[in-house]
Amino acid sequence: MRHVIALDVGGTGMKAALAGPGGEVLHRARRATGRAQGPDAVVAGILDFAAELHAYGAEHFGTPASAAGVAVPGIVDEADGVAVYAANLGWRDVPLRELLAQRLGVPVALGHDVRTGGLAEGRVGAGRGADRFLFVALGTGIAGAIGVDGRVEAGAHGFAGEIGHIVVRPGGAPCPCGQHGCLERFASAAAVSEAWAAASGDPDADAADCAKAVDSGDPKARAVWQEAVDALADGLVTALTLLDPRTLIIGGGLAEAGETLFAPLREAIRRRITFQKQPTLVPAALGDSAGCLGAGLLAWDLLASTDRMEVTP
- The bridge status of strand 142-148 relative to strand 132-138 is antiparallel
Write a three-state SS string for 232-256: HHHHHHHHHHHHCCCEEEEECHHHH
Q: What is the pLDDT of residue 50?
A: 96
- The bridge status of strand 68-72 relative to strand 4-9 is parallel
Beta strands in the chain (DSSP E): 4-9, 13-19, 25-32, 68-72, 75-77, 82-86, 91-94, 108-112, 132-138, 142-148, 151-153, 247-251, 280-283
Q: What is the pLDDT of residue 307?
A: 60
Q: What is the pLDDT along the chain (313 residues), one digit of tens a residue?
A: 899 999 999 888 999 999 998 878 999 999 999 888 999 999 999 999 999 999 999 999 999 999 999 999 988 999 999 999 888 888 999 999 999 999 999 999 999 999 999 999 999 999 998 999 999 999 989 999 999 998 999 888 888 999 999 999 999 999 988 999 999 999 999 999 999 999 999 999 999 999 999 999 999 999 999 999 999 999 999 999 999 999 999 999 999 999 999 999 999 999 999 999 999 999 999 998 999 999 999 999 999 887 655 544 4
Q: What is the pLDDT of residue 56?
A: 95
Q: What is the pLDDT of residue 177?
A: 87
For residue 188, give Cα distances in angstroms to 72, 206, 310. 20, 11, 45
Q: What is the pLDDT of residue 278?
A: 92
Sign of CA dihedral 155, 159, 161, 163: negative
Q: What is the DSSP string of 75-118?
A: EEETTTTEEEEETTTTEEEE-HHHHHHHHHSS-EEEEEHHHHHH
Q: What is the pLDDT of residue 35?
A: 86
d(CA 197, CA 179): 24
d(CA 53, CA 6): 9
**Nearest-5° angle of CA 229, CA 235, CA 238?**
135
Q: Is 272 buried (19+), middle (13-18) or exposed (0-12) by CB count in 10 A?
A: middle
Sign of CA dihedral 119, 180, 76, 17: negative
Question: Bridge-partner residues for 282, per DSSP?
Answer: 249
- The bridge status of strand 142-148 relative to strand 4-9 is unpaired
Torsion of Cα atoms, 147 then 150 then 155 then 158, to 10°: 100
d(CA 282, CA 56): 37
d(CA 46, CA 52): 10
Q: What is the pLDDT of residue 308?
A: 55
